[in-house]
Amino acid sequence: MLRELSVENLLLIERARLSLGPGLNVITGETGAGKSVLAHALDLLLAGRARSGIVRPGAGEAFVEGVFDAPATLPAALEERLGDGDGELLLARRVGADGRTRAYINGRSVTLGELGEVGGALIRFFGQHEHRRLTIAAAQLELLDASCGSEQALRLRSCAEAYARCVQLRATLDDLQGLCRDRDRELDLLQHELAEIERGAIGEGEHEQLVLARERMRRLDALCAATGGAAEDLARDLPESSGAAALLSTAAARLQSVAGVDPGLDALGERLRSLSIEAQELAGELRGYGERLLGDTTDAAQGSTLEALEQRLDAAERLADLVTKTAKI
C-alpha cells in the first residue's frame, strides 16, 4: 500500500506531499489542478521514462519519493542490499534538468530495472484510458487464456516454444539457401572465367615474349639506328673510309709479312686475323638484324602490329589475373 507521496519541482509543482489512508482514496480537482502530475510522479517511481521538460523551470532537478508498506518478499539480491526497512520501503527518483536520472530504494542507489521490479510488486498503475485495452483482440485472447487454467498455460508455453523453434529453423534455412545461391553465383562466375582463360589460349612464356616484342616494336627506330651504325663502324662500304674490320685486316697483313720469324709474334698475328674475320661476320649479322626489323614494316603496318601486340598483352595480363583469382578460390 502507498502511504505517502512527495513531489518537488515536478512540472508546475514546487513542493507537495500527499498522505493516504487505508481503503479507497480519491483525488479530485479541476482540469489543470495537477492530478496528472501526481500520476506522472507514480510512473517515475515505477521506472517510467523521464520525459524532457518535466523539471520545473528554474530548478536544478525534480524529486519524487513514495513510502510503501513492504511486501512479504523481495528479490534475494535486493533484500541483501537493502536490509530491514521496519516494514516500509522508500522509493525515490531524481531527474536532473540535463536529463540524467537516479533511482533509490531505502536511500540506497539502485538501477532503473531494480526500481521497476520492486515498484511493480508494490503498486499497479492504470491510466484513465486503460479500459480501451479491452477492445484489442490480443488483450481479449490473453484474458481468455488466463481464465482457462494451468493446462492451457502449459499448452501456450509449448506452442510458444515450438513457434520459436520454427522461427529459428526458418532463419537457419534462409541462411543456408542464401549460401547456396552465393555458391551457385560463384560457380557460374568461375565457369565463365575458366572458359575465358581457355579461349585466350595463352601459352607458357608467351607473356614474356609479348613484352619483349612490344618493347622491340616501340623502339624500332632506335634499334635500326644502333645496329646500322654499329655495322657501318665495323665494315664501311665507302672506299675512302675504312671500318674496324678493314683496319684489323690491314694490321693482320702487316704481321703476316714477317710470319715465321718469331713464334710469339705469329700468335699475335693469328689473333688479329681471327678478330678481323669476327668483325666482318659481326657486321654482316648486324646488317641482317636491321633488315629483319625493317623487312616488311611500314608506318601503317608498324602501328597495326604494335596495336595487335598491345591487345594480346592486355588479354594475357587479364587472363593471368583470372588464373590467380581462380587459384585462390
Q: What is the pLDDT of residues 155-188, one digit of tens each?
A: 888 998 999 999 999 999 999 999 999 988 888 8
Residue 239 lies in a domain: yes
CA neighbor of 61 nearest in space, from 7, 106, 108: 7
Q: Averaged over 12-23, what is the pLDDT?
A: 83
Helix axes 244-256, 220-234, angle to 10 degrees: 20
In a shared domain, residues 122 and 211:
no
| Per-residue pLDDT tens digits for 83-94 | 655 678 888 888
Residue 195 forms part of a structural domain = no
Residues 220 and 312 in one domain: yes
Averaged pLDDT for residues 263-283? 84
Same domain, 120 and 210: no
Residues 221 and 122 reside in one and the same domain: no
Helix (H, G, I), strand (E, B) or coil at 18: strand
Quick one: pLDDT at residue 297?
53
Inside any domain, residue 60: yes
Residues 7 and 116 in one domain: yes
Q: Is the pLDDT of residue 325 over 80?
A: no
| Domain-terminating residue out of 98, 130, 162 | 130
Give the list of residues 6+ apart from residue 39 with CB closer than 8 angstroms, or none. Answer: 125, 127
- Identify the band that residue 303 occupies on the pLDDT scale cut at 50, 70 and 90: very low
The domain boundary residue, chosen from 78, 101, 130: 130
* 19 — pLDDT class (breaks 50, 70, 90): confident
Nearest to 93 by CA among 66, 125, 55, 59: 66
* Residue at grid coordinates 608498324: 302
Residue 54 lies in a domain: yes
pLDDT for residue 211 is more than 90: no
44: CATH = 3.40.50.300
Of 220 and 111, more confident: 111
Q: 64: Cβ–Cβ under 8 A, 6 or more apart, which residues? A: 5, 6, 7, 8, 10, 41, 44, 45, 92, 93
The pTM (predicted TM-score) of the whole model is 0.40
Residue at 279 is within a domain: yes
pLDDT of residue 301 exceeding 50, the answer is no
Into how many domains does the chain fold? 2
Predicted local confidence at residue 105, as pLDDT: 85
Whole-number Å distance between alpha carbons of 207 and 324: 15
User: Mind listing the pLDDT tens digit for each residue in 226-247?
Assistant: 777 777 777 765 555 567 777 7
Give the domain range for residue 75. Answer: 2-130
Asked whether residue 187 is assigned to any structural domain, the reply reads no
